[in-house]
């Protein structure tokens, strides 16, 4: 049974249809990729799942329960963690405190005291390789570390599902490979993952399955190789130049 | 770390004992001056909970002060309550009012929140000016405290001191609990706080209500001390400005910042008005501006960082220039 399921969800911003009747399933333990050109509606999908705004129509179910229309903090506590494309650390807090806040209020937050949350934070920082940065203020970190902190905050929430929204944008090749390894490690710890990514190198190495959005509509869904060779997908990415290239 | 905590605890204890003993060795005028400082220290520290830690700059906190003052006046004068009961009711009513007002107003952020709270305070003043039970603009008398003159000075001083200690202690306990982290997370990034599982509406409203509770207590003691209150001084926007200036001057988001701010601002303005009858407001304004430019994090920052040199000031100017 699917752990997360979206059923024909749409999002209209006044007249603009950002996402149009998109359905997908996320199976337990898999890494599902979500790709598409800029403005395709990828982040809008993440925001609908995370409860930033409710879908205009359609339903989202998590572990069989409807979650569309719930507030972000309720969804976070149920076990869905997300990262932000434009990272959102708590700038004035230390790295450790940032992560501890995730542990305090996430899925197992109710059962953790502030002190236990600090211990959990240490554990997560060790896991993502930020342990030696733990006492620095979050706003003093470089891009790669900030992205990793964003992942650490999400992991500290003890989620069942993580939505990674472009955690590799702005990283160099070496850092991308590290991030890919990290996400694989996260999957092995039993967490189901949805990655939104532009970096094809990462998508190819990570995803079991991928689906493609274009102008808010789903145009392909399937194994990575198959989807990336799909004519519609190539067209969506290359636009008019597709003709020139095929001739 | 442990050693440090012990030392801070020791220093706090010494300061507290000093504050508690000081009225015994001085005259009534100074005690009264100390009582005023404590009153503003309560209000600035209470403002610090919502403005400093949660990051919601309330420009209407005087409304809780006024509600506290008027609750005490009405309950004691019209309903024949004793002071203890009136005091407790004043804080609680202010806190409940903060919840009711906070639910809609705390949906606004930044400047919009500031303006809305300003409006709430002004609206409340107009209401009090026109209600029969508050006796409108003519003001309302309270029963006098039945004590010797010296005893009265002691009573109000120690009431303020006890309320301040309760306020700071509550803040300290909350800061080390999960609730404190949720407030700071909201200040640092509210959307991220929400997505990480923090019920931001609840946390903000509780912070606002707590801020109101202690401000209401201060208003209650003030009313009993004055024995006569009117809407204009009880709800004046000056009081709000003063608490914000004190909190910022001392150090926003620092436990003892507002207390230090209240003390220094009151002392500075007292000295200035002693020496410069006409232009003291001008000098006072200049000092506040200089302080904000050179130490935007407040004097608490200078003390804790132990940096009092040119490079510290220059760094501040660079960091915070517009």
- Mean pLDDT, chain A, integer: 90
Query: Given this model, what pLDDT does residue B1 score?
Result: 47
Q: Looking at A16-138, list the stretches that DSSP marks H as alpha helix, in order from N- to C-terminal side.
A: 42-50, 72-78, 95-105, 114-128
Task: Enumerate the residues of chain A whose CB falls inside 8 A of the CB of residue B184.
Answer: 90, 92-93
Q: Which residue of B has its CA nearest to A105?
A: B197
User: How far apart are the CA of B196 and the nearest CA of chain A, in angstroms?
Assistant: 5
Check whether B48 has a pLDDT greater than 50. yes
- On whether any CB of chain A is under 8 Å from the CB of B279, the answer is no
- A48 vs B: CB within 8 A: no
Show residues of chain B in contact with A105, CB under 8 Å: 178, 182, 196-198
Mean pLDDT, residues B278-292: 82
Distances from the Cα of A33 to the Cα of A88, A247, B252, angstroms = 22, 30, 44
- What digits encode the pLDDT tens for the residues B214-238? 999 999 999 999 999 999 889 999 8
Strand, coil or helix: A192:
strand
**Helix (H) / strand (E) containing A226:** helix A224-228
Which pair of structure tokens corresponds to residue A118? 């600090």
Using alpha carbons, select from A112, A195, A84, A116 the residue that is nearest to residue B189.
Answer: A84
Q: Mean pLDDT, to the nearest integer, of B90-107?
A: 96
Enumerate residues 6+ apart whose C-beta is below 8 A from A134: A94, A95, A96, A121, A122, A125
Q: Cα separation of B29 and B26, whole Å?
A: 8
- pTM, rounded to two decimals: 0.90
Give the C-alpha separation, B235 to B124, whole Å.
8
Q: How far is B219 from chain A (nearest CA, A)?
A: 33
Closest chain B residue to A72 measured between Cα atoms?
B195
Residue the block writes with tokens 């303020």: B160
ipTM: 0.89
Rounded Cα distance, B301 and B59, in Å: 24
Q: Could you give the CA distance from residue A162 to residue A165 in angstroms, rounded to a whole number?
A: 9
Is the pLDDT at B307 greater than 80? The verdict is no
Q: Are strands A16-26 and A57-62 parallel, antiparallel or unpaired?
A: unpaired
Q: Which of A53, A70, A73 to mutate to test the interface with B (most CBs of B within 10 A)?
A: A73
Which residue in B218, B221, B214 sits closest to B169, CA to CA?
A: B214
Asked if B194 has any chain A CB less than 8 Å from its own CB, the reply is yes
Does A162 contact B at CB distance below 8 Å? Answer: no
Q: Is B137 on the interface with A (CB under 8 A)?
A: no
The DSSP symbol for B227 reads S
CA angle B235, B236, B240 (to 5 degrees): 95
CA separation for the pair B81, B77 (Å, rounded): 8
A125 touches chain B (CB under 8 A): no
In a domain, B270, yes or no: no
User: Which structural domain, as residue segments, surrounds residue B73?
Assistant: 29-255
DSSP assignment of B111-128, as one string? HHHHHHHHHHHHHHHHHH
Q: Which residues of B touch A46 (CB under 8 A)?
A: none
In a domain, B169, yes or no: yes
User: Can you tell me the distance from the alpha carbon of B113 to that of A100, in angstroms, rounded to the nearest whole number?
Assistant: 29
CATH topology of domain A4-79+160-246: Rossmann fold (3.40.50)
How far apart are the CA of A152 and the nearest CA of chain B, in angstroms? 11
Average pLDDT estimate for A63-88: 93
Q: How confident is the model at residue B281 (pLDDT cuts 50, 70, 90)?
A: confident
* Interface mutation vs chain B, best among A46, A48, A67, A72, most B CBs within 10 Å: A72
- Domain assignment present for B279: no
Q: State the pairing for strand pair A80-82/A161-165.
A: parallel
- In the structure, what pLDDT confidence band is assigned to residue A244 with cuts at 50, 70 and 90? low
* pLDDT higher than 90, residue B202: yes
**B271 located within any domain:** no
Alpha helices, H only, chain B = 2-21, 28-47, 62-77, 83-105, 110-130, 149-175, 178-188, 190-195, 200-226, 231-235, 237-250, 257-275, 280-294, 299-305, 310-320
Distance CA B180, CA B53 (A): 8
Q: Look at residue B314 in the predicted model and tell me its pLDDT.
A: 73
Q: How far is B5 from chain A (nearest CA, A)?
A: 16
Indicate the helix (H) or strand (E) that contains A35. Answer: strand A31-35
Q: Which residue of B has its CA nearest to A112?
A: B178
Domain residue spans in chain A? 4-79+160-246, 90-158
Query: Which chain A residues are Cβ-neighbours of B182 within 8 angstroms?
Result: 101, 104-105
Picking from A72, A104, A109, the nearest residue to B195 by CB comes out as: A72
Chain A contact for B184 (CB, 8 A cutoff): yes
What's the pLDDT at A247? 54
Q: How many residue pairs from chains A and B have C-beta atoms closer than 8 A?
A: 80
Most confident range, picked from A74-83, B135-144, B278-287, B296-305: A74-83
- Kindly state whether A50 is in contact with chain B, defined as any CB-CB distance less than 8 angstroms: yes
Position B167 confidence tier, pLDDT thresholds 50, 70, 90: very high
DSSP 8-state code for residue A167? T
Q: What is the pLDDT of residues B103-140, one digit of tens each?
A: 999 999 888 999 999 999 999 999 999 988 888 888 89
Contact by Cβ (8 Å): B252, B292: no
Q: Do residues A214 and A236 touch, judged by C-beta distance below 8 A?
A: yes
How many domains are contained in chain B? 1
- Give the whole-angstrom CA distance, residue A184 versus residue A181: 5
B188·A77 Cβ contact <8 A: no
Residues in CB range of B154: below 8 A, 6 or more apart: B23, B31
Query: Model confidence over A133-181: pLDDT tens digits?
Result: 999 999 999 988 999 999 999 999 999 999 999 998 888 888 899 999 9
Cα separation values, B101 from B60, B116, B121, B167, B179, Å = 11, 10, 11, 22, 21
Q: Which residues of A touch B195 (CB under 8 A)?
A: 50, 52, 72-73, 76, 81-82, 84, 88
């Amino acid at each position: 049974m699917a752990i997360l399921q979206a059923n024909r969800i749409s999002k209209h911003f006044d007249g603009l249809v950002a996402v149009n009747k998109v359905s997908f399933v996320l199976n337990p333990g898999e890494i599902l990729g979500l790709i598409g050109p800029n403005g395709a509606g990828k982040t809008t999908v993440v925001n609908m799942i995370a409860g930033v705004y409710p879908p205009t129509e359609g339903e989202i179910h998590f572990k069989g329960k409807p979650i569309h229309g719930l507030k972000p903090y309720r969804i976070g506590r149920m076990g869905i963690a997300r990262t932000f494309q434009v990272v959102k650390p708590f700038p004035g807090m230390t790295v450790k405190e940032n992560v501890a806040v995730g542990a305090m209020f996430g899925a197992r937050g109710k059962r953790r005291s502030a002190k236990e949350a600090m211990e959990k934070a240490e554990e997560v920082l060790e896991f993502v390789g930020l342990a030696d940065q733990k006492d620095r203020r979050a706003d003093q970190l470089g891009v790669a570390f900030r992205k990793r902190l964003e992942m650490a905050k999400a992991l500290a929430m003890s989620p069942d599902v993580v939505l990674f929204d472009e955690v590799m944008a702005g990283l160099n090749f070496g850092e991308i490979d590290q991030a890919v390894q990290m996400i694989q490690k996260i999957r092995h710890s039993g967490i189901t993952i949805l990655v939104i990514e532009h970096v094809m190198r990462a998508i190819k190495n990570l995803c079991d399955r991928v689906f493609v959005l274009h102008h808010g509509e789903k145009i392909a869904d399937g194994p990575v190789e198959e989807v990336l060779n799909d004519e519609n997908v190539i067209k969506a990415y290359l636009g008019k130049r597709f003709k020139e290239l095929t001739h | 770390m442990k050693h440090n905590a012990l030392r801070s605890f020791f220093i706090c204890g010494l300061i507290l004992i000093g504050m508690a003993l000081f009225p015994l060795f001085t005259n009534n005028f100074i005690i009264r001056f100390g009582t005023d400082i404590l009153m503003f220290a309560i209000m600035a520290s209470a403002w610090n909970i919502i403005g400093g830690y949660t990051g919601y700059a309330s420009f209407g906190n005087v409304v809780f002060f006024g509600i506290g003052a008027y609750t005490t006046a009405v309950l004691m004068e019209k309903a024949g309550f004793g002071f203890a009961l009136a005091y407790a009711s004043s804080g609680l009513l202010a806190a409940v009012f903060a919840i009711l007002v906070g639910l809609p107003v705390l949906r606004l952020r930044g400047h919009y929140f500031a303006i809305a709270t300003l409006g709430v305070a002004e609206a409340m003043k107009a209401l009090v000016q026109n209600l029969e039970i508050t006796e409108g603009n003519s003001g309302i008398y309270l029963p006098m405290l039945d004590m010797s003159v010296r005893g009265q000075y002691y009573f109000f001083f120690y009431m303020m001191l006890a309320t301040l200690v309760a306020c700071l202690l509550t803040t300290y306990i909350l800061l080390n609990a999960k609730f404190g982290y949720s407030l700071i997370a909201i200040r640092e990034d509210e959307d991220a706080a929400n997505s990480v599982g923090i019920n931001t509406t609840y946390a903000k409203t509780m912070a606002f209500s707590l801020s109101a509770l202690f401000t209401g207590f201060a208003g209650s003691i003030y009313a009993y001390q004055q024995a006569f209150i009117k809407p204009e001084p009880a709800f004046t926007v000056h009081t709000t400005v003063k608490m914000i200036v004190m909190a910022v001057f001392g150090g926003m988001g620092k436990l003892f910042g507002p207390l230090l701010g209240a003390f220094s601002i009151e002392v500075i303005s007292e000295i200035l008005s002693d020496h410069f009858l006409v232009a003291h407001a001008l000098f006072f304004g200049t000092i506040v501006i200089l302080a904000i430019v050179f130490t935007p994090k407040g004097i608490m920052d200078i003390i804790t960082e132990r940096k009092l040199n040119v490079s510290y000031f220059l760094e501040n100017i660079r960091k915070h220039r517009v």
